[in-house]
Structure 1
Amino acid sequence: MKILVIWRLLTVGGVNAGWRNRAIYFKKHGITAEFLYCKDLGGMHMMKDIAPVYLTTDEQVIHEILTKNDYDAIIVVDTSKAYDWLAKADYKGPVIIEARTPEIMKLKRNLEGCHQIQPQKFIVPSQHQKRVLSILVNESAPIEVIYNGLDTSFFRPLENEEVHVQKEPIAPSNKKVVAYIGRLDVRKNWRLLLKIAELVKKEREDIEFWVIGGAKSVERQQFEDERKKQNLTDIIRWFPVVPYHEMPHVYAKIRQSGGCTVATTRAESFGNTFIESMACGVPVVAPNVSSIPEIVTDKKTGYLFREEHIRGAAEQIYRIVDHQERYEKLSKSARERVEQMFSISHCANRYIEVLQEVTRKGTEDES
Structure 2
Amino acid sequence: MKVLFVYYVPSGGVETLNRQRCGALRLAGIEAHCLYYAWGSGMQNAADFPIYVTRNDIEIKHILDSNSFDVIVVTTDHASFQRFRMLGYKGKFVLEIQGYGPKSVAQAQLTKAAPYVNQYADALLNPNTPHIAALFQQLYPHKPQFNFNNCFDTHRFTYTPYKAPANPVMAWLGRIEDNKNWREFLHIGHALKEHVPDLEMWMFEDIQLSQPAEREQFLALIDELDLADRLTLRSNVPNAEMPYYYSVIGDSGGFLCCTSKVEGAPYAVLEAMSCRCPVLTTDSDGVSTSVYHNFTGKFYVLGDVQHAVTEAFELMRDSDLREQIRGNAIKHVQQHFNPHIYAMNFARLLQAIGL
User: 2:278 maps to which residue?
Assistant: 283
User: 1:172 maps to which residue?
Assistant: 165
Is structure 2 residue 212 aligned with structure 1 residue 214? no
Question: CA RMSD of the aligned region, Å?
Answer: 2.0
- Where structure 2 has 5 or more consecutive residues not aligned to the other structure, the ranges are none
What are the equivalent positions in structure 2 for 1:44-123 lying under 5 Å apart? Answer: 44-46=43-45, 49-102=47-100, 103-107=102-106, 108-109=108-109, 111=113, 113-115=115-117, 117-123=119-125
Q: Which moved more, 1:109-118 or 1:324-333?
A: 109-118
- What is the TM-score of this pair, normalised by structure 1? 0.88
Deviation >4 Å, runs of 4+:
none
Q: Would the aligned equivalents of 1:34 and 1:52 in 2 still touch at CA under 8 Å?
A: yes
Deviation, structure 1 residue 112: 5.4
Identity of aligned residues (%): 24
Q: Would the aligned equivalents of 2:27 and 2:340 in 1 still touch at CA under 8 Å?
A: no
- Residue 180 of structure 2 aligns to a residue whose secondary structure is coil
Q: Would the aligned equivalents of 1:209 and 1:237 in 2 still touch at CA under 8 Å?
A: yes
Letter in 2 for 1:295: S
Q: 1:193-251, CA deviations, whole angstroms, 9 ceiling, x for partnerless residues?
A: 11111212333313211111232222473333432343211222111121100111111
- Residue 245 of structure 2 aligns to a residue whose secondary structure is helix
User: 2:19 maps to which residue?
Assistant: 20
Hey, what's the Cα distance between the residues in 2 that align with 1:98 and 1:64?
24
Hey, what's the Cα distance between the residues in 2 that align with 1:52 and 1:84?
23
Q: Would the aligned equivalents of 2:74 and 2:94 in 1 still touch at CA under 8 Å?
A: yes
Q: Would the aligned equivalents of 2:185 and 2:259 in 1 still touch at CA under 8 Å?
A: yes
Q: Would the aligned equivalents of 2:103 and 2:262 in 1 still touch at CA under 8 Å?
A: no
Quickly say closer, same or farther: Cα 1:66–1:104, change in 2 above 3 A. farther
Hey, what's the Cα distance between the residues in 1 that align with 2:19 and 2:155?
15
Q: 1:265-323, CA deviations, whole angstroms, 9 ceiling, x for partnerless residues?
A: 00011111111111112221001232223320001111101111111111111111112
Hey, what's the Cα distance between the residues in 2 that align with 1:63 and 1:104?
34
Is structure 2 residue 316 aligned with structure 1 residue 313? no
Quickly say closer, same or farther: Cα 1:292–1:28, change in 2 above 3 A. closer
- Where structure 1 has 5 or more consecutive residues not aligned to the other structure, the ranges are 166-170, 363-367
Q: 1:148-198, CA deviations, whole angstroms, 9 ceiling, x for partnerless residues?
A: 11101122222x2xx4x5xxxxx531x111111122211111011111112
User: 1:4 maps to which residue?
Assistant: 4
Hey, what's the Cα distance between the residues in 1 that align with 2:301 and 2:86?
47
What is the count of residue pairs matched by the alignment?
Answer: 347
Q: Would the aligned equivalents of 1:86 and 1:117 in 2 still touch at CA under 8 Å?
A: no
Q: 1:114-172, CA deviations, whole angstroms, 9 ceiling, x for partnerless residues?
A: 2475322111011412113333x2222211112111101122222x2xx4x5xxxxx53
Hey, what's the Cα distance between the residues in 2 that align with 1:61 and 1:306?
48
User: 1:338 maps to which residue?
Assistant: 333
- Residue 47 of structure 2 aligns to a residue whose secondary structure is coil
User: 1:224 maps to which residue?
Assistant: 219
Quickly say closer, same or farther: Cα 1:53–1:310, change in 2 above 3 A. same
User: 1:168 maps to which residue?
Assistant: none
